[in-house]
């Protein structure tokens, strides 16, 4: 296998580290193989550029039947990538995983359906590529307040501070306590 795949503190969320073959020219790496996460079918690739360090995108998710699993990687810069378990009945409901992904470390994060996802850029001009298991569906698009103190996410001090570092939509997402049931653990188990 050309990647190390390990569960995080929430087993459904996986850290994927593709093997890099380096020489004097640089490196080569396989960035996705179907046998890494069997049963996952990706239908759309997304690419985001965030100009300022401290840009926050999220915490986002889509409702069923358009619920998305995501596999993220950074091709320039670095992010603090966060997945919050919003599966009612889950033993880890309301808990999160936070991982630094960067172009330098080459790590990727698999976030399955049933999780709210977001990231904060740690460097300017950060580019993120991610695969999703369902196409974008504006009618199913939802979010969770990225700065809800109940989540206990240790965002960088500069998160959301720069001009334009947070979208108007992301400023209006509800706190976890105000989030209606969106996913049931028995439908989206680990």
Q: How far is CA 168 from the centre of its chain?
A: 20
Task: Choose the catalytic residue: 117, 130, 173, 185.
Answer: 130
Beta strand 126-132 pairing with 70-76: antiparallel
Q: 173 catalytic, yes or no?
A: no
Q: 47 catalytic, yes or no?
A: no
Q: Which residues are the active-site residues?
A: 60, 130
């Amino acid at each position: 296998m050309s990647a190390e795949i390990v569960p995080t503190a929430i087993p459904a969320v996986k850290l994927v580290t593709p093997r890099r073959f380096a020489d004097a020219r640089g490196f080569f790496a396989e960035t996705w193989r179907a046998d890494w996460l069997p049963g996952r079918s990706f239908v759309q690739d997304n690419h985001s550029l965030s100009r300022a360090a401290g840009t926050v995108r999220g915490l986002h998710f889509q409702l069923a039947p358009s619920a998305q699993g995501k596999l993220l990687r950074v091709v320039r810069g670095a992010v603090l990538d966060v997945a919050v378990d919003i599966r009612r009945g889950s033993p880890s409901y309301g808990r999160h995983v936070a991982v630094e992904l960067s172009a330098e470390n080459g790590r990727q994060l698999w976030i399955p359906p049933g999780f709210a996802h977001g990231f904060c850029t740690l460097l300017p001009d950060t580019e993120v590529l991610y695969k999703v298991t369902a196409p974008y569906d504006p009618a199913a698009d939802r979010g969770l307040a990225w700065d809800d103190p109940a989540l206990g996410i240790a965002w960088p001090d500069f998160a959301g501070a720069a001009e334009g570092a947070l979208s108007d939509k992301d400023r209006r997402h509800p706190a976890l306590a105000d989030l209606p049931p969106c996913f049931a653990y028995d439908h989206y188990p680990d």
